Every structure is written in C-alpha cells, then in structure tokens.
Structure 1
Amino acid sequence: MRISTAQYYETTAANYQRNYSNALQTSAEASSMTKINTAADDPIGAARLIQLGQQSSMLDQYAGNISNLKGSYSQAETALSAIGTALQRAKEVTLGASNGTQTNADRQAAAQELGQIQNQVLGLMNSQDANGNYLFGGSKTSTPPYTANSDGTYTYNGDQSEVNLAIGDSMSVASNITGWDAFQKAANTTRSQTTMTAPAVDDGRVTLSNGQISNSATFDSKFAAGQPYTVSFVSSTQLKITDALGADVTAEASQNGVISNKDASNQTVSFRGVDMTLNINLKSGDIVPDAVIAGHSFQLAVKPDTINASRSPGNPSTAVISGATQSNSTAYNSTFPTGEAILKFTSATAYDLYASPITANSKPVSSGTMAGSTATAAGVTFTLGGTPAAGDQFVIQPNNHQTQNVLDTLGQLQAALNTPADNNAVALQKMQAAVASGIGNLDTAQAQVGSAITAVGVRGQALDDQTATNQSLGLANTTSQAAIRDSDPAAVMTRLTLQQTMLQAAQLAFSKISQLGLFNKI
C-alpha cells in the first residue's frame, strides 16, 4: 500500500491537532481540577450535575425558610408565654379580691389592675413581627386580630388560615399560630343561666347562680335536650327540678335535691353536668324557714345566642344597628345561618338576610320590610339608628357562647368586682358566683394558650429534625457533585505528562520521517 506525501502530511497534522487539543483540555482540567466544563465533556454527568445543583438550591431555600420560621416561632412563643403569665396574675388578683374580707374599694382596685392586664393581653394578642405583620391574625397579617366593640366585648378579625412554608421535600409546616386556635377556642364554662321566676320581686332569700359546666359530655348529651328546666323550692331543705315537658328529674340532681337552709352556705347543686351555687338567706323573724323559702323558683336553660352586628365601611348611608335580640327562638334555630350572616337593604325599608359570603348564586334565607326602626329576619329583631339606604350591608355574627376569648372574660370579671357588695349578702354571693365563673374561663384560656405553646414547640422540633435531614442531604449532594465534577490530581497529572510526551515524540518522528526521500540518497 502506498501513501502519498500529501496524505501523510494531512494524517500527521490531524493526529497532532487531536493530540494537541487533548493536551490543552487536560491542561485546563489540571488548572481547575474540574473534569466537566461543558456538557460535551460528559453529557450524562452534566445532566446529573444540573439535578444536583437544583437540589442544592432547594436545600438552601429550605434552610432560609427554617431560619425565618424559627424567628416567627420565637416571637409567638414569647408573646404566648407573656399572656400565660398575665392570666396567672389575673387569677391571683381575682381570687384575692373575691373573699368576704375585702371592701368595695379593695375590689375596685383589683378591677383596675385587671383592666391593666386586659390592655396588656390585648397588646400581646395584637403582636407584630419585624415586618409589621400581625402574628395571630392568620392570613390577615395587615389587620389587628382583636378590636374592642362598643359594648365592651372584643371581636376576632383574623381567620383560621395557616401559612405553610416548605422545609424539605414533601415537608411543610405552618408559619403562624392563629388567634382562633390560641384564644378563640377556649371553652366557655358558663353556657347556662338561671332566671328567677317567683316571687315577682326578688326578696333576696334565695340566690342561685348561673350554671358552670363541670362535665361537658353530660351537659352536651343530656342538659340541652330537656331545657328549659324549672327549679322550684318545695321547702327550705328540698328543691325540685322539672324539665320542659314537666317530668320530674330531681333524681339527677346532687343529693336528690336535698339542700341546707343554713345562711350563706355557698352549697353546690349539681345537675346534668352543671354546677350551681345556692345560698339561702333567712332574715330575722323567719321563724318557719319552710314558709318563706317554699314557692321560690328559677328557670334554668342554655344561655341564648347573642347577636353582634356591624356596618360595612362602604355603606351609602350612615345607619347603624344599635341592638339585636332573638325574638323567635323557633325561627332562629331553624332558619338563621349557622355562621356569619349579611343583612342587605334593597331600599330604605326592604331587606334580605343572606348566609355569608354573598355570591352570584346566593338566595336570601329571610326577607322583610322595616317596622318603624326595627327589622326582623330569621327570628332576630334588629334595631336601627338612622335611615338605611339601598345597598347598605351589615355583618351579623351570632355568638353561641360555646367559647369565649379571655379579653371578654377579663371584662366580665372587672364588672363583677366593680359592683358594690359591702353589707349586702346577696350582692356578695352574686359577685362570688361571677368570679367563680370567670376563674373557670381563665383556666380554659390558660389551657388553650398552653396548647398553642405546645404546638409551637412541636413545630420547632420538626424544624430541628428536618434541619438534620437537610444537612445530611446536603453532604450527600456535595459528595455526589464532587465525584462527578472534580478531577483526581494524580490521574490528571499522569495523563497530562503522557500527552505532552506523545506530542514531543510525534514532533520528533514527523521531523525525522519528513527528511526521508530518494533525493536525500543522491
């Protein structure tokens, strides 16, 4: 086989160029110690590096989220712990002021301190983070979670939404504790009430407090089904309880309805999961106790829902709802929306009641026309101040008293302690019963705050666990990237030396071979 001189030169040049390129590539690899600089160097390895790089970026994002979450949790836990401490102080102040040795002035001073505690707790409930976002408002981070109403109660303006942040692959946790979970779900232990029905004018001889729930399961399963009850005193040592149908259910009361006629004995009457405080206050001259106590009676029932109403900011008129009361319990129980409702006026006198929120497909649950200054819808009568206009909307919020936020509890305790009771046994007994109810609600509020702190702690533990997992993944990611991308220094230098030697040998061989020819032999 013959090879022409031109072919030889072309083949030699091509081989030399290829070897030279390899040497340059190896030299660059030796400088950077990176064996993949372009996708062409190793297509499969380059694709894997892209995936690993994306994972590394996500791990960095997770680390940032975890850092932000720890900051939020720290602020929330600090605020919740401070609220718990304030509520404990409120209990101590209330208990100290409610004993019989304190005067009106002492109790009023305690009420003032409770007012300061209430303001402190309100400020903590409306805590903000460094960016000005409210901690306990749910997704409504720009609105104060709690605001005061004109009647002294407080409304939660937030929602129940939790804002989740990813902290790992398929792993996310809520970044916030909502006010609904931390404060609004505290059980109200006073959900029943007693009302004297005889005598027509209270003679002060018998006081029976509102019921305080001692057994929620029994209350829910049995109490509500038989209400309203009549508690009648057949003598100074025996009471009788009948249900709404007139059936005698006294056997379910503590001691089968046997009571003491000892003055101011603060005895407890338990019935179907409810504890009531009973006092018999005999007066001088009451020689025959049975004669003066028999005939007293009370109605015992579940506390009816209260209705709060507020005008929408964009209303055309300045009309307001100044009061709302149940006027027909049957219509209310069967028709009124279970949640928030909207009262919407279509003219100055015509209105419709909708379940909130109103949508294009919403239909009114009740309609009517104004009767003077009142509007009645779904068993509720609203009293309006001013003349409404077409387009006016009012937000209606029923309160079934299943729960009670601690701000309202503190307000009720202040009212109880501010009521004069010096030298008035009946007023003192009522104050002590109200205090006992408030203490029960403070206990449930503290328990709810404690549950919120526990939830923060559980989430914090989840952050720590996921941080350890992410760190392990990060180390594995770094190792994998290094194995694909980084070069072995010994192997690279050996290969570079070999390639440089081959180039030198090729140059020398080409120089020698190019001098061979017949003309060189002449």
Structure 2
Amino acid sequence: MRISTQSFYEQSRTAMGSLQSNLLRVQQQMGANSKLLAPSDDPLGTTRAMALAQSIAMNSQYSASRTQATQTLTQEESVLQSTTSVLQNVKVLLIQAGGTLNDTDRANIATSLQSNLDQLQGLANTDDGKGQFLFAGFKSGSAPFVRQADGAITYAGDQGQRLTQVDASRQMAGADDGRSIFQSVQSGAGYVTSARVDTVNPNSLGNVGSGVFNSTSVVDVSNGNYGKDFEIKFSGTGTVADPVMFTVDTVPGQATLPSAEVYKEGRPITFGGLQISISGAPAAGDTFKVAPAKNAGTDVFSAINDAIKALKTPVDNGGPAAQAKVLNALGTANRKVTNAHDNVLTVRASVGSRLQELDALGATGDSRTLNDKSSLSNLQDLDYASAISEFYQRQTALQASQQTFVKVQQIALFNYLK
C-alpha cells in the first residue's frame, strides 16, 4: 500500500496537533488549579459545583448575620445584667425605707433611689455604638425613654423587632423592645395591692386611716372570681355601736364578696381565691385595691417614682396615719419592682437561649460549609501529582511524535545512493 507524501504530512500534522492540544489543556488546568475549564467539560459536575458555591456563599452571609446578632444580644445581656443589679439595689432601699426612720433618713433613701432611677433610664437608653438605640424597636434613631417635665419617664419607641436571618429557615430578634423589658410583667406575676389614692388632693398618698396591708397570697386559683380586680372597702367609726366593717367588691362594682364583716386587725381576709391581712386601724372610706399585676401598672420607672415621692413627704409629725401611707406606698412599689425584676430575668433567659441557639447554628453552619467545600473540591480541584505526571507524559508523546516526523520525512531513496 502506497502512502502519498501529502497524506503523510496531513496525518502527522493532525496527530501532533491533537497531542499539543491535550498538553495545552493540562497546562491550563494546572494554571487554573481546576479540572473544569468550561461547563462542557462536565455539565453535571459544573451544575453541582455552581450549587455548592452558592451554598457556601449563603452560609458565609448567614455566618456574618449570626456574628452581628451575637454582638447585639451580648450587649443586651450585659445591659440587662446591669439592670438586674440596679433593681436589686432598689429593692434593698425600699425594704430599708420601711424600717424605723425619720424624715431625713427617708429623704436620703429617696436621693439614692433617684440615682438608681437615673441609672436605670441610662441603661434603657443604651445605644449600639453606631447611633442606634438598643431598646427603641423600629424607632432606633432616638432615645426610647424620655423624661417629662413632671419627672415621669415615658416610652417613645415602639414594639417592633428587627429580625435577622441567621440561617436558611431561622429569623431571630437581635434585641428586645424597651416596653417588653421595662414596662411589662410576666403572666404569672400575681396580684399587687395598693392603698386608695386621693384624687381631690394629688399630694396625698391615699387612705386617712392607719391601716397597712401585708402581702397578698393565692389560695385557690380555681375560684370563679380569681383573676379579677378587687376593692376592700372600710366603713364605721370604730365604736361599739358602729364597729369598723369591710366589704370586698369586684371592679367594676359587682356583688360583694363576701358579705360585710367586722374588721379585726391582722385576721386574714379571704376572697376570690386570694388572702390578705391588714394591720392598724383603717378609717371609714379607706380602700385597698387588689389587682393582677398587669392591671396594677407595669411601668418600673413609675413605680420607683411613686416610692421617691412617698419618701420625700414629711411624716414625722403625722402620726400612725402618715406612717401608714408611706408603708403602703413602699409595699406597692416593692411588689411592682419585684415583678419588673422577675420580668427582666425572664428576658435575660430569653437572650441567653438565643445566644445558645446561635452557637448551635454556628457549629452546624461551619460543618455544612466544610462539607460543601470538600464536595466542591472533589468536583473541580486539580490533583497536581496526577496532572504533573500527565503533563510530562503528553509532553514526551508530543516530542516523540515530532522527532518521528522529522526522521520519517528525511527518508528518501536518494539518501542511499553513493
């Protein structure tokens, strides 16, 4: 069989071109550190690699969001820890104020309470260092707790929660709003007792008698009237002919529970699943309100303010009635501050739970990212040892082909004539 010179050249050129192309491809793979240079190299593998790369990018964003949420929640936890300490100090001062003190001592305690109130307001107006207030909800551009001209502190924020996408199927609140922290109580906070407030004389702290309430306890939650507001009303002058009597009414006024009874100092009064005792000598018209915590005022700033006003009112020359007004005001404030303290502890527990969840999500996300990177590496990363071996193999084959072509194209009959 005869092979023409042209056919020989064409076959040799095609063979060397193919070898050179294969060598170039190996060089490109080594330069790109990838065995996938184009989607056509492995369509299925390329699709899978794109999905893995997208998953890694999303996990990276979730990780950044978790970091931001962790920083915010850690700051909130620190503020709530300080808030807990302030409220504990307030409770100690309220208990101390209920002892045998004179007007000067009580005024000094009022000054300490005012300092704690100012500190509490400062904590409630904490910012994140970037000009955004932590507990203002969506209105984070301005301080959420504002002091009014009369000394009252009001909430100017809202109850919005800024949610952060911390995982594919999990959104988490980065901070709690101020109202849920400083102006709320837990559903199980129980009852708060307070003395009647004199609406005619705003400077008065309530009842005119010397009756002082003690703590209210729950004895029967199944009682049909449990959960309602109650008023204990006193009547009578205290004489033999007109003894001091009391009735218990639900609010708004409904049937008396129970019927009117003669008041005896210190004897427990049971009604609506509750029990309370009152000491001293209540006067006709004196009233004590017993209401669920959520109906009795849940603002901790207001509770402390009321205690400060009570302690600043002179009582040394007012006798037992004046002393009773202060003790009743302190008792109400102490109960409200205790409820607020419990609420802050509950919010702190929620913050701790979210931080723990972020740690768990972070560990899961890191593991997922590691698996995705491993799978992506298996799909596209180049095995340098194999690539180098293939490179030299193809280089040798190309060089052999070129040398063979040179030798063969020199073969001619005239080379052997002498």
Structure 1 length normalisation: TM-score? 0.67
- 1:350 aligned partner: none
After superposition, residues 51-450 of structure 1 pair within 5 angstroms as: 51-99=51-99, 101-186=100-185, 189-190=191-192, 194=196, 206-208=209-211, 214-215=217-218, 222=225, 230-233=233-236, 239-241=245-247, 243=249, 247=255, 249-250=257-258, 257=261, 259-260=263-264, 269-272=269-272, 273=274, 275=276, 277-280=278-281, 296-298=284-286, 401-423=295-317, 424-450=319-345
Residue 166 of structure 1 aligns to a residue in which SS? strand
Shift of 1:229: 6.6
Contact kept in structure 2, 1:231 and 1:297, CA below 8 Å: yes
Determine the C-alpha separation between the residues in 2 that align with 1:31 and 1:139. 51
Match of 1:481 among 376, 390, 393: 376
C-alpha distance in 1 between matches for 2:26 and 2:183: 69
Q: How many residues align?
A: 397
2:403 aligns to what? 508
Query: 1:47 corresponds to which residue?
Result: 47
Paired with 2:108 and 2:182, the residues of 1 have a C-alpha distance of 26
Quote the Cα distance in structure 2 between the aligned partners of 1:109 and 1:493.
85
Alignment-mate amino acid for residue 178 of structure 1: D
Q: Is contact 1:194–1:208 with CA below 8 Å preserved after alignment? A: no
Q: Residues 246 and 90 of structure 1: is their aligned pair in 2 closer, same or farther, counting only changes over 3 Å?
A: closer
1:216 shift after superposition:
11
1:469 to 364, 378, 384: 364
- Distance between the aligned counterparts of 2:47 and 2:224, measured in 1? 64
When the two chains are superposed, the root-mean-square deviation of aligned CA atoms in Å is: 3.4
For the 8 Å contact 1:213–1:219, the answer to whether it is kept is no
Q: 1:211 to 1:159 in 2, by over 3 A?
A: farther
Deviation of the 1:426 alpha carbon: 0.5
SS of 1:280's equivalent in the other structure is coil
Whether the 8 Å contact between 2:232 and 2:288 is mirrored in structure 1 is yes
Contact 1:69-1:175 at 8 Å conserved across structures: yes
Question: Which deviations, in whole Å up to 9, do the C-alpha atoms of 1:426-469 show, x marking residues without a partner?
Answer: 01011101111111011001001111111111011011111111
- 1:17 deviates by 1.1
The 8 Å contact of residues 186 and 403 in structure 1, kept in 2 or not, is answered as no
Q: Which whole-Å CA distance do the structure 1 matches of 2:255 and 2:119 have between them?
A: 49
Alpha-carbon contact 2:161-2:173 (below 8 Å) kept: yes
Say whether the 8 Å CA contact 1:234–1:240 is kept in structure 2: no
Unaligned runs of 5+ in 1: 197-203, 282-292, 304-399
Instruction: Tell me what 1:490 maps to.
Output: 385
Write out per-residue CA displacement over residues 395-439 of structure 1, whole angstroms, 9 at most, x where no aligned residue.
xxxxx8454221111100001111111141101011101111111
Letter aligned with residue 353 of structure 2: V
The Cα offsets for residues 307-366 of structure 1, whole Å up to 9 and x where unpaired, read as xxxxxxxxxxxxxxxxxxxxxxxxxxxxxxxxxxxxxxxxxxxxxxxxxxxxxxxxxxxx
Who is 2:202 aligned against? none
Deviates more, 1:400-409 or 1:433-442: 400-409
- For the residue of structure 2 that corresponds to 1:167, the secondary structure is strand
Q: Which amino acid aligns with 1:260?
A: K
> What per-residue deviation string (whole Å, max 9, x for no partner) do you get for residues 194-247 of structure 1?
479xxxxxxx98444689764499599626869677544596777342647885
Q: State the Cα distance separating 1:175 from its structure 2 match.
A: 0.8
Q: Following the alignment from structure 1 to structure 2, what is the Cα–Cα distance between the partners of residues 413 and 9?
A: 108
Percent identical residues: 26
What SS does the aligned partner of 1:241 have?
strand
Structure 1 contact 195–300 (Cα < 8 Å) conserved:
no
SS of corresponding position for 2:280: strand
The secondary structure found in structure 2 opposite 1:459 is helix
Letter in 2 for 1:249: L
CA contact (8 A) 2:125 2:134 kept: yes
Contact 1:161-1:178 within 8 A present in 2 as well: yes
Matching of residues 26-45 of structure 1 within 5 Å: 26-31=26-31, 33-45=33-45
CA distance, structure 1, for counterparts of residue 356 and residue 35 of structure 2: 41
Q: Going by fraction, where is strand more abundant, 1 or 2? A: 1
Q: CA deviation at 1:64?
A: 1.8
TM-score, length-scaled by structure 2: 0.82
CA gap of 1:155–1:176, structure 2 versus 1, over 3 A, is same
Aligned to 1:14: 14
Contact 1:240–1:250 (Cα < 8 Å) also in 2: no
Indicate the SS of the match to 1:181.
helix
Deviation at 1:270, TM superposition (A): 4.4
213-222 or 106-115: which moved more?
Answer: 213-222
